[in-house]
Structure 1
């Protein structure tokens, strides 16, 4: 069997509406019917037990090797977790030459599946070993590397549901919807009308706070600092406890909260400088950490974020408890899963020390042990949906914050006791405004129901009856 002329069909095509890999497969006379190869199918199924039933593709009840190649490539992707179902083998006018079409969800994964299918068939022909587990893991890892993240994926799925065409412009999160003059673009959870100035303002936390404060939105007091001495002076000005964080950071990187001593501040300053040179000190606001998602001029979703923590069982060490929590299949090492694994690093050890624990301590049964003070999902935190609980004035403040910065899609970080009552009534405040906010805490929260944020973004980009398409009529003959 020889495979040649592999090409990707990146949209609706002659064979189906699915994206697919098309290959020309040449089969020798014996390979035009695997019945002529004694023991081949048994050896193949021993190597790949999940292979689908082989069906004749012609009028002579023969099962050609090309059909085996088709189902093997499709089956490998399916077993690796790719959402594929369509494949087809068609004999050409030339004897022994077949067109094989196999659906793919990610082009690179589809190409690798064809390559691995060819190797698997060769191993069965020669009665050699084939490491199926390693092959499937290779496909899974590549799929995780190249597939769209949960935020971008949710927006793309919402577009597909509305029959809006899309294509990726890069291997990253830059996606175009629609065609020609009717097209729109996104990059992660940021749309094409968001200005670079607005994004720059959102990244500058001190400037953001000045703008929000001028608009009457509650924010914590604080300022940028130049060194540890200046940081301690700023802490004295606003009053302990304080928060130390990079001035233009994101995802909770380098953020330390609830600092009450000079020693803690020095350690926090050092942690922050590992990510940025410009550091801020601001008043620590006690209460819960909430993320409010504003799209256009509406609050679409809200979640309470809880810091990464474990619960003692009276027998296991803190380290063992963290390992148990990280076995949750929802937790991954990046942003491709709904939750991120809890990091057991210097910040976690320092947080433990404040509670009188270390990595090998055995907490009492039922005792909650916090591994970090900030509640970002990217550092292992969890999220609980509270959209239905948000007070109208809290929602209005979030929309005002987003509009003051100029963001069409905005993640507003609010610290207060509860979203059931106005921020001013509980001495809370908006601590950050984020461009291109992560959506996964709203799509699949740890607790509560997910929200249709992808649909909300598409609705903000396209009018109700707009599918981004341009009708084309082709006349031939």
Structure 2
């Protein structure tokens, strides 16, 4: 693999990796570089790689860049096999392995037509997402601005036009009606009928499948009955009847028309070899196919030549067979059609096309209503009008291959992906929708729901993901934890979405990254201990680094919304390419003041109201008494959620009046924010339902409830087993100041822990005078908790599955769960 000699490695110069090899290095490092080199051999231009130890002896993380995931996985597997074979001096057929990888790459890589459009879109900063792992179906743009392509066929391509083009006689009839030259011809259903029509038209003739493509089954310049009958047997193997047409003398030209304008043209020559007086036709073809530009399929600049039945018919026309030895310099044709897909070559002639020929091609595309059309034209000289030389348009392609224009065998390449993208997205046309990404430890879901509510208040179609599900215009379309990249992509694929508000969890970032390339606004609520000890994240600083990925994805014209009261969050400003909007509980925060002094933007509480500021200018937005879900600002964690959401909507340019309306109409109840400090009434008891599974969330509940010591409190709690013991203990101990009695239960997903292991761990934190009982699951826990309370008591449910918890509470009340209660209300009114 000669490419290894160019790897710089840590030495910082070409040949650096080879130098490291000579000094001695470790297997993971070698596997990293060999994997990259193998991908380069497969035709993927990748160069980034890292090998890092995990802390466990002999165990490494190896990270390599890739264009297509499955071929990269296979390249890594092959790299290990090859390297180990070299280490132990075992036989290994590296050439065969590389050829196998190339074939796999051809299966997965985008074809040249699709790739040209995708590359042109990316240069325009238009989002691109492949919708099938091995096909060419690709989405451009997000949400309401999305378009789709399938090779050169676009979502603007008329289905009726495609149908017409698939029926060649109908195509000719439509073109003839507007005065475009097309050859005479008829469809036939037998070899006898084919010969009869050929005699009527006059020899020579062409035979081709009525509904063929890519030149398959096309036989030209047929001058005898035997040739016509043999050609019929070839053409009849394809779909539809066989079309017999008058043969037109001249060269084969393809004119590409995009959005009504000819943008490229190429002369196509059939597959052929040149004799040397020594080798047979078969040997000459084998030699030609060894050209590295020739591969099977359509992924390379040239396609391998096949010696099939069609080739034998053409050879017979020249008095040859595959075993014949042509004279030196003799040109031997292997096809009469000139398609690249059958081994042909192309020469760019864009600048030579006579204006009248270009106009005729443009008219043909227009009359068939095709946004992208490949017009096949036969004539002796493309520089002269076709009408003067007896030429004609012989075919119109609704999904033309672009390879001949992108990589002509000779002549100037034409970047024809650009005009296709411009036809889909004219200059200035939007391709993206606003994406607001929300991460942090606590408050993510509430902030996500509140931001979504703000844009819904503005009558925009919002796509939202969070730990409860995926929502489109307020309707849940997917249930479960949807805070990962796949759910984000589902929203961005939806054709009605105008704004995407996406919760981004730590686990999704570590597993698969983000579901988008960049966002308009990135929000980080706070950083506190949660999921430490998992995925190589052992400290708060490392957790912050994971969350910071969202801020690094903020666009240059976007904004990062950061909590100035949290130092780990505030310092993420250095990683943001766009502007920074801080939020804080008060205006005296030093970071916030310094930011404003430099003309920055911030949201904070001042004189009992949420205010916005930019530099020295301040605007009083809304009094806290109107923001009821914060209890007039008494619920500190809800206040921070309100500030974060306000900053995000303000940064995105939402009208302040709409922000105020949303803040004053949002409710932290089970309808708008299920499981996020929902306060309910049940048979004279106050019920608080919350999804607080970490120490930060539990401290926020404690801070709120210790202000009201008038109620006896029973807590129903089960904690996830995928946390470290010390984190589970810290979370549980944070509840001790405000709880009088506990019901400790197990969760359905114990994460490899033993049955009742976590409940027993929690019980070990209790003193002898604190009553508690065990339950097997959440449902049993809630029922026991209710039995342990009396009217006037408080029941706190730390929910694992929020919907299940609500269903149990509804069953206890025997009516719908409904009216919200404030924490200060001393008497419950019952569930309604």
The alignment's TM-score, normalised by the length of structure 1, stands at 0.82
For the residue of structure 1 that corresponds to 2:63, the secondary structure is strand
Q: Which has the higher contact order (CA 8 A, sep 6+)?
A: 1
Match of 1:116 among 67, 72, 78: 78
The question of whether the paired residues in 2 share the 8 Å contact of 1:52 and 1:75 is answered with no
1:135-214 matches, within 5 Å, as: 135-170=97-132, 171-214=134-177
Change in Cα spacing, 1:222 to 1:111, as seen in structure 2 (3 Å) is same
Are 2:447 and 1:447 aligned?
A: no
Change in Cα spacing, 1:50 to 1:233, as seen in structure 2 (3 Å) is farther
**In 2: Cα distance, 1:63 partner to 1:218 partner:** 69
Number of the residue aligned with 1:407? 370
Are 2:316 and 1:268 aligned?
A: no
Number of the residue aligned with 1:456? 419
Change in Cα spacing, 1:337 to 1:68, as seen in structure 2 (3 Å) is closer
Q: CA deviation at 1:134?
A: 4.2
For the residue of structure 1 that corresponds to 2:523, the secondary structure is coil
For the residue of structure 2 that corresponds to 1:353, the secondary structure is helix
Number of the residue aligned with 1:24? none
Render the CA deviation track for 1:139-182: whole Å, top value 9, x for unaligned: 22211221011111111111222222212100200011121112
Are 2:265 and 1:217 aligned?
A: no
Are 2:283 and 1:235 aligned?
A: no
Number of the residue aligned with 2:39? 77
**In 1: Cα distance, 2:324 partner to 2:278 partner:** 10
Render the CA deviation track for 1:282-311: whole Å, top value 9, x for unaligned: 111111111111111110111111122222
Q: CA deviation at 1:89?
A: 4.1
1:366-445 matches, within 5 Å, as: 366-445=329-408
Change in Cα spacing, 1:231 to 1:181, as seen in structure 2 (3 Å) is same
Q: CA deviation at 1:442?
A: 0.8
Change in Cα spacing, 1:312 to 1:131, as seen in structure 2 (3 Å) is closer
For the residue of structure 1 that corresponds to 2:376, the secondary structure is strand
Change in Cα spacing, 1:77 to 1:260, as seen in structure 2 (3 Å) is closer
Render the CA deviation track for 1:328-386: whole Å, top value 9, x for unaligned: 22122211111122222233222222223333333333222222221111112111111
Report how many residues are paired.
Answer: 424
The question of whether the paired residues in 1 share the 8 Å contact of 2:146 and 2:431 is answered with yes
For the residue of structure 2 that corresponds to 1:300, the secondary structure is strand
Q: CA deviation at 1:54?
A: 5.0
For the residue of structure 1 that corresponds to 2:148, the secondary structure is strand
Number of the residue aligned with 1:332? 295
For the residue of structure 1 that corresponds to 2:180, the secondary structure is coil
Which deviates the most, 144-153 or 387-396?
144-153
The question of whether the paired residues in 2 share the 8 Å contact of 1:89 and 1:100 is answered with yes
Change in Cα spacing, 1:200 to 1:103, as seen in structure 2 (3 Å) is same
Change in Cα spacing, 1:376 to 1:132, as seen in structure 2 (3 Å) is closer
For the residue of structure 2 that corresponds to 1:267, the secondary structure is helix
**In 2: Cα distance, 1:314 partner to 1:294 partner:** 43
Q: CA deviation at 1:193?
A: 0.9
For the residue of structure 1 that corresponds to 2:32, the secondary structure is helix
Match of 1:364 among 321, 327, 338: 327
**In 1: Cα distance, 2:56 partner to 2:523 partner:** 29
For the residue of structure 2 that corresponds to 1:78, the secondary structure is helix
**In 2: Cα distance, 1:93 partner to 1:470 partner:** 42
**In 2: Cα distance, 1:248 partner to 1:203 partner:** 5
**In 2: Cα distance, 1:209 partner to 1:417 partner:** 21
Number of the residue aligned with 1:474? 522
For the residue of structure 2 that corresponds to 1:475, the secondary structure is strand
The alignment's TM-score, normalised by the length of structure 2, stands at 0.48
**In 1: Cα distance, 2:433 partner to 2:52 partner:** 32
The question of whether the paired residues in 1 share the 8 Å contact of 2:181 and 2:387 is answered with yes
Change in Cα spacing, 1:126 to 1:341, as seen in structure 2 (3 Å) is closer
1:204-353 matches, within 5 Å, as: 204-353=167-316
**In 2: Cα distance, 1:346 partner to 1:97 partner:** 56
Please tell me whether Structure 1 or Structure 2 has the larger radius of gyration of its CA atoms. 2
Change in Cα spacing, 1:446 to 1:64, as seen in structure 2 (3 Å) is closer
Q: CA deviation at 1:129?
A: 5.6
Change in Cα spacing, 1:404 to 1:260, as seen in structure 2 (3 Å) is same
Which deviates the most, 313-322 or 198-207?
313-322
